[in-house]
Amino acid sequence: MRIGITCYPTYGGSGVVATELGIELANLGHEVHFISYSQPFRLNERSEGIFYHEVAVSNYPLFEFPPYDLALASRMAEVAEFYDLDLLHVHYAIPHSVSALLARQMLAARGRRLPFVTTLHGTDITLVGLDRSYLPITRHAIQESDGVTSISNYLKEKTVTDFGITRPIEVISNFVNCDVYVPIGEETTRAQARHHLAKPDEALLLHLSNFRPVKRVVDAVKIFARVVRETPAELVLIGDGPDRSAAEWLAHDLGIHTHVHFLGKQENVSELLPLADLLLLPSEMESFGLAALEAMACKVPPIATRVGGVPELVEDGVTGLLYEPGDVDAMARGALELLGNRERLAKMRDAARRAAQKRFCASLVVPRYVHYYEEVLGMRE
């Protein structure tokens, strides 16, 4: 198949999943065309079967805000026609599904069929789409999509309830390449690999996000401050965003800044995650929790919040620990208890990896997307 993919190319879950999906589809022999305003950040190597098409937006003096959604629709139609795409797969409803709907209508007027699949990722439904300015058009684009998928049952149910969606929504979870996100074999090797981040007797905690307020990165620093008072430890924070400055100031004010390492955006996440003992994910909301899955695949149990789709991924007490948002004391106690009980931590590490392999490997999930594409295209009954 020839598949067009549109996503936000920035450091966020929907862009990561869309990019990884394109890479996996290309590995299966499909031709993938990314259509966006810049190249997705994880698309850092030229791969066979993967092409990128930039969306150029003209900035006329008449426009206070450049009309990206219109430029995107035009580019979608052009790429689909020039490269004979079978369908479009758009990630994040606003404005991508609206642009895909326009592209489909443009080509239909010329007698060409271009179905599109919309994948709902989270804040496009729980935050942006619920804004009264966007709700009617978001609902219309979802209803008019040729196929709709959601990354969790939680998000599917919220979409149906809040938007009154009557069309079927297929739940296809996020995934991880279990051959790329792997644990480090021996504990001695692991200690050697992380020597630049932590001493042999120190625990290593890690936080990975886009540092938006919903991720509560400041809570990760608060949790760590309680942990490091009781046991030698270091905290690594991967990512960047609006709350980084607040987290940096808090670490300094609490006198723990020499133990807190802000690495910024990193492309080698799969090499850094296996170095950690625990992942801190104290989010206000997660429609799935991709960072938790990536950590679990590397045998790193998450200390996370019981919100959204996280309980569909993390089994409390088995593959990680779940708490209420904002309960930093409880999360710190849970982290300390695991760090002080190496046998329990080892069992949880093994269980986390097994859960990722059993349910969320790319080799299991990506074929479900291919099957769904075939249904949309009428290739399956």
Q: What pLDDT is stored for residue 37 in this prediction?
A: 86
Please tell me the distance from the alpha carbon of residue 218 to that of residue 246, in angstroms, as a whole number: 7
What single letter denotes the amino acid at residue 75?
R
Q: Any residues with CB less than 8 A from the CB of 159 and at least 6 apart, and which?
A: 120, 125, 142, 150, 165, 169
Task: Say if residue 128's pLDDT is above 60.
Answer: no
Please tell me the distance from the alpha carbon of residue 208 to that of residue 197, in angstroms, as a whole number: 15
CATH 3.40.50.720, applies to 2-174+362-376? no
SS3 18: helix
Q: For residue range 242-298, what is the model confidence (pLDDT) as tens digits?
A: 999 999 999 999 999 999 999 998 888 999 999 999 999 999 999 999 999 999 999
SS3 165: coil
Q: What pLDDT is stored for residue 63 in this prediction?
A: 65
Q: Any residues with CB less than 8 A from the CB of 132 and at least 6 apart, and which?
A: none
Q: What pLDDT is stored for residue 156 in this prediction?
A: 94
Residue 103 to residues 89, 332, 374: CA-CA distances in angstroms?
12, 50, 20
Q: For residue range 335-347, what is the model confidence (pLDDT) as tens digits?
A: 999 999 999 999 9
Q: What is the location of CATH 3.40.50.2000 in the chain?
A: 2-174+362-376, 187-359
Average pLDDT of 364-373? 97
Residue 240 to residues 54, 244, 254, 264, 371: CA-CA distances in angstroms?
24, 6, 21, 5, 36
The pLDDT-based confidence of 41 (bands split at 50, 70, 90) is confident
Q: Which CATH superfamily is domain 187-359 in?
A: Glycogen Phosphorylase B; (3.40.50.2000)
Kindly report the CA angle at 318 between 294 and 331, in degrees rounded to 5? 75
